[in-house]
Structure 1
Amino acid sequence: MTKLGPAHLGRRFAALLIDWALCLVIASFYADPRVIAWPPVVLLILFNALFIGPFGQTPGMALARLRCVSAADGGAIGVLMGLVRGVLLALLVPAVIMDDNRRGLHDRAAGSIVVSLPPRGR
């Protein structure tokens, strides 16, 4: 298996935008996000816990060819650490404070790293 490198910020941002748009659409079925702001935020946190925790990808990450894995062993981070990562991501500030490996405080707290996947077909 080839070593996967840290994901570029543009792809990470694109994945986040896709996930955010999906959260807005889903939340609009039961609340107006223009009036009540918290439902899409809760959905984004749940996306991190339920998609990244066991599977390593949100729908946006899958489209952007990214995966969030354990920085220690490359495996899944689990639902609890996905939840921690999601809560800190929702706060935004921890996500923009990054180290040399493009790991935000939310990634460091969850023990995760977002990596770029190779192009399909390889």
Structure 2
Amino acid sequence: MTTVEPAPFGRRFAALLIDWAICLMTAAFYADPRIVAWPPVLVLIVLNTVGIGLFGQTPGMALAAVRCLAIRDGGAIGVVRGLLRAVLLAMLVPAVIMDGDRRGLHDRAAGSVVISKPR
């Protein structure tokens, strides 16, 4: 893949906040997130696995104008690597540990990079 500029942290964080709000609202249909904490996390994992694995973005990423692509070929990362990335993202620590290219440990493990969408 050609060299790409990783998306700024602010856009990535905005996308995560939007996705988290969607997950909280969705999980509230079957469990109270204030009492049972795991349902929104499970929804986040599913949303990220399917959205990023198959389409390269979640709803929050679409609104924040960022995409997650395979570092080697620029395509979608696939469901298996999407699941790995989603589980590591749900653990939060890998996401906040970034390298000089603004790739978190979850991106490095999945072989992905989050980039700004062209205007």
TM-score (norm 2): 0.96
Q: How far apart are 1:47 and its partner, in Å? A: 0.9
Q: 2-side partners of 1:91 and 1:101: how far apart?
A: 21
Q: Is the 8 A contact 1:68 1:115 kept in 2?
A: yes
Aligned to 2:40: 40
Q: Does 1:16 align with 2:21?
A: no
* One-letter code aligned to 1:89: L
Q: How far apart are 1:3 and its partner, in Å? A: 6.0
Aligned to 2:70: 70
Gaps in structure 2 of 5+ consecutive residues: none
Q: Please provide the CA RMSD for this pair.
A: 1.1
Q: How far apart are 1:5 and its partner, in Å? A: 1.4
* One-letter code aligned to 2:69: V
Q: Is the 8 A contact 1:4 1:117 kept in 2?
A: no
Q: How far apart are 1:4 and its partner, in Å? A: 4.1
Residue correspondence of structure 1 range 1-122 to structure 2 within 5 A = 4-119=4-119
TM-score (norm 1): 0.94
Instruction: Give the fraction of aligned pairs with identical amino acids, expressed as a percent.
Output: 69
List structure 1 runs of 4+ shifted beyond 3 angstroms: none
Q: 2-side partners of 1:43 and 1:81: how far apart?
A: 17
Gaps in structure 1 of 5+ consecutive residues: none
Q: 2-side partners of 1:42 and 1:61: how far apart?
A: 18
Q: Deviations over 1:27-51 (max 9, x none)?
A: 0000000000000000111111111
Q: 2-side partners of 1:51 and 1:69: how far apart?
A: 11
Q: Deviations over 1:47-103 (max 9, x none)?
A: 111110010000000000000000111111000100000000000000011111110
* One-letter code aligned to 1:26: T
* One-letter code aligned to 1:24: L
Q: Is the 8 A contact 1:68 1:114 kept in 2?
A: yes
